[in-house]
Amino acid sequence: MNELFIKVKNLKFPAGKYAIFGSGPIAIRGLRKCKDIDIIVTEDVFNDYKKRSEWKLKKFDDNADYLDKDGVELWKEWGPGEWDVNKLIKEAEIIDGLPFVILEETLRWKQINGRPKDLEDIELIKEYLANKKLGE
């Protein structure tokens, strides 16, 4: 298991209050590596961790706030596009004891972003989903 996923396990976030998003759902399946971990969290978890001195409050391009600690990033909002963070958390798929945003939603997010790395990830996800469907 990737060192970043172990860090997340060791943080012991409350169940049902977070899910790994971004490249995490791709990396846990071994499709590619990830350099950091994006975690969507409920607002109460975000506010709790915001008070902890080891977590640094940062701003993203669109002025969204997030918290960072050693490559683990906490987000109470997700973009671009409209995302119901609580719904994504509720529907998360548990893999190796951690909740991950389902791959279909990761695909949708990658398609909205459309950055060069997203285009590569879109192909990886589509191929994975097609192979998974054939194996059912």
Using one digit for the tens of pLDDT, what is the confidence trace for 5-37?
999 999 999 999 999 999 999 999 999 999 899
Q: What is the pLDDT of residue 76?
A: 94
What are the chain's domains? Answer: 3-102 (3.30.460.40)
Average pLDDT over residues 82-103: 96
pLDDT of residue 136 exceeding 70, the answer is no
- The predicted-structure confidence for 33-88, as pLDDT tens digits, reads as follows 998 999 999 999 999 999 999 999 998 876 789 999 999 999 999 988 889 999 99
Using an 8 Å Cβ cutoff, are 76 and 43 in contact?
Answer: yes
Label residues 16-27 b or e (16+ Cβ within 10 Å = b).
Answer: ebbbbbbbbbbb
pLDDT of residue 103: 95
Q: What's the pLDDT at 1?
A: 65
The whole-model pTM stands at: 0.93
CB atoms within 10 A of CB 131: 9
Query: What is the per-residue pLDDT for 50?
Result: 96
Distance of CA 113 to the CA centre of its chain: 14
Tell me how far the alpha carbon of residue 106 is from its chain's centroid.
Answer: 8
CA distance linking residue 120 with residue 74, whole number of Å: 24
